[in-house]
Amino acid sequence: MSQSLLNDIRSEALFTSPLQQADESTPAEVRAAVSAAVRTFGTRGCAARMAQEFGDHPDTAMARMCWARRLVAEVYAVHGAAPRLELIPSGSVDAPAAAVARAA
């Protein structure tokens, strides 16, 4: 899975998390929030919740997504090394969720 796709999934997960921009969260808190959202909702569930917010509140959803993408890019920046992902057993129900949870 590419770093770009992982960051897209992480951004959606952070978007659905209870963290707020005003919280000035640490990298550890961001990683924990992303992992918790993926474990709770799965990758598809995070995407669905994000889409619902864009439908209900497009004015605030855009700002939140920009914040989430910026924070994910900072927290998960790769400096000369590829992220280490564990292998996912075949037949996994939500393989992308498992990859994000393990990479987070």
Q: Tens of pLDDT along 17-31?
A: 999 989 889 999 999
Give the pLDDT score at 99: 52
Give the end-to-end CA distance of the chain in Å, rounded to a whole number. Answer: 13
Would you state the pLDDT for residue 4? Answer: 81
User: What CA dihedral angle connects 52, 56, 59 and 62, to 10 degrees?
Assistant: 0
Element holding 99 (H helix, E strand): helix 95-103
* CB burial of residue 74 (10 Å; 0-12, 13-18, 19+): exposed
Amino acid at the residue 7: N
Written as one string, the DSSP assignment of 27-81 is HHHHHHHHHHHHHHHHHHHHHHHHHHHHHH-HHHHHHHHHHHHHHHHHHT--SSS
Q: What is the mean pLDDT of residues 25-53?
A: 95
CA distance 80 to 22: 31
In the prediction, which pLDDT does 11 show?
96
Question: Largest Cα–Cα distance of the chain, in whole Å?
Answer: 40
- What pTM did the predictor assign? 0.73
